[in-house]
Amino acid sequence: MTRFWVCIAGAGFFLALLVLHSRFCASRLPPHLHFAFKISWRAEEILYRLDVDWPKYSEYFTGATFCVAVDSLNGLVYVGQRGDNIPKVLVFTEDGYFLRSWNYTVDTPHGIFAASTPQEKSVWITDVGSGFYGHTIKKYNSFGDLVQVLGTPGKKGTGLNPLQFDNPAELHVDDTGDIYIVDGDGGLNNRLIKLSQDFMILWLRGENGTGPAKFNIPHSVTVDSTGRVWVADRGNKRLQVFDKDTGDWLGEWKNCFSEEGPSAVRFTPDGKYVVVAQLNLSRLLILAAPPVGNIGDCSVVSTIQLADQVSPHLLEVSRETGAVYVAEIGAKQVQKYIPMNRFFRLLLFHLSHPCPISFVSVIKC
């Protein structure tokens, strides 16, 4: 009963806003007001708000924060940072409490990915350093103990047997244990590699170039729920898409990136949106995810404009809460953005854009 009256009060409040809209914006309300109100906006929808309380104490960020990963299964957030005489990996809770840090065998972290199961907490790091552990991809447990090393430690290269990397940018580990690696943050390689869970090469795509399945700084990789691999081809200002099983090229998105290419790419847990970072523009783009079987064209749903020179490098989306964590190398911090409740998104939208022209909303209790 309480929930019923809260819904009635909310609907009444929203109706009052519509009346004010009609009074001051010289537009008329639609003739039928049965839970559906025709409203429209020229502006983009506001989907996220900044969580100003994350983390609880920001002084733990002591270097340039290059990457962030979320272990949604265990509620952990890993941050990779660079600098001299500082811990390279910080571990927080998703609520923002600092737990621990470690530095063992980490030279210069670039990308980080949490791939935990009910039996094992693990985190993978791409290392682009020039030291003994550079040009490798390493697996750790939650406390920083080294479990596995991929690549030839300390030696960059193009070889496949043994496998070599040169500035590996990022990786994605799917639920089957297969690994997708983008190798080539400005190094010798411009390629996408798929490894099996026992680290055998299943397929490889890419070389330096601008055509389909060619790359210029492949910087971030993720896999959507329909079996498509998405690569942020940063230097070519596009997202490229591949079939996860065969490696076949499926298409590309370029029209959203005329100003700057994407530096990071992730999907929201519901699969509705693609979240992209643009480093030099200090901007996040929220894009409409394509349907199954059709890549189509890129469409911007919302943007988050950060302060100048914040420089969002890589990001992660919590599979549990949908929160977006952004590693900002300019600001030397990680920030958390929370999905906004739908009703308050509409309310904020209406208040900030008093003369809307084209959106249809439905209030549901």
pLDDT at 116: 86
**pLDDT tens sequence across 147-198:** 999 999 999 999 999 999 999 999 999 999 999 999 989 889 999 999 999 9
pLDDT at 362: 34
Please, which residues bridge with residue 150 across strands?
137
pLDDT at 43: 57
**pLDDT tens sequence across 270-287:** 999 999 999 999 999 999
Give the CATH H-level superfamily of domain 52-352: TolB, C-terminal domain (2.120.10.30)
Map tokens 């559906």 to a residue.
Answer: 36
**What predicted TM-score, i.e. pTM, was given to this entire model?**
0.84
pLDDT at 298: 96
> Is the predicted pLDDT of residue 343 greater than 80, yes or no?
no
pLDDT at 117: 84
Give residue 236's Cα distance to chain centre: 19
Give residue 271's Cα distance to chain centre: 12
Residue 14 phi, psi (nearest 5)? -65, -40
Count Cβ atoms within 10 A of the Cβ of residue 52 and give its class: 0-12 exposed, 13-18 middle, 19 or more buried. exposed
Residue 229's alpha-carbon distances to 102, 195, 244, in angstroms, are: 31, 13, 6
Q: How confident is the model at residue 255 (pLDDT cuts 50, 70, 90)?
A: very high
> Is the predicted pLDDT of residue 8 greater than 80, yes or no?
no
> Is the predicted pLDDT of residue 360 greater than 80, yes or no?
no
**pLDDT tens sequence across 50-59:** 999 999 999 9
Q: How confident is the model at residue 36 (pLDDT cuts 50, 70, 90)?
A: very low
Q: Which two tokens stand for residue 238?
A: 């596009």
- What residue segments make up the domains of the chain, in order of their start? 52-352
CB burial readout 58-86, b (16+ within 10 A) else e: eebbebbbbbbbbbbeeebbbbbbbeeee
CA nearest neighbour of 314 among 277, 261, 268? 277
The more confidently predicted of residues 251 and 18 is: 251
Residues written for the chain = 365
pLDDT at 322: 97
Query: What's the whole-number mean pLDDT along residues 211-233?
Result: 98
Q: Are 90 and 114 in contact (CB under 8 A)?
A: no
DSSP one-letter string for 210-241:
SSTT-BSSEEEEEE-TTSEEEEEETTTTEEEE
Residue 58 phi, psi (nearest 5)? -85, -5
Tell me the C-alpha distance between 184 and 201, whole Å.
17
Map tokens 């996220």 to a residue.
Answer: 48
Q: Are 18 and 356 in contact (CB under 8 A)?
A: no
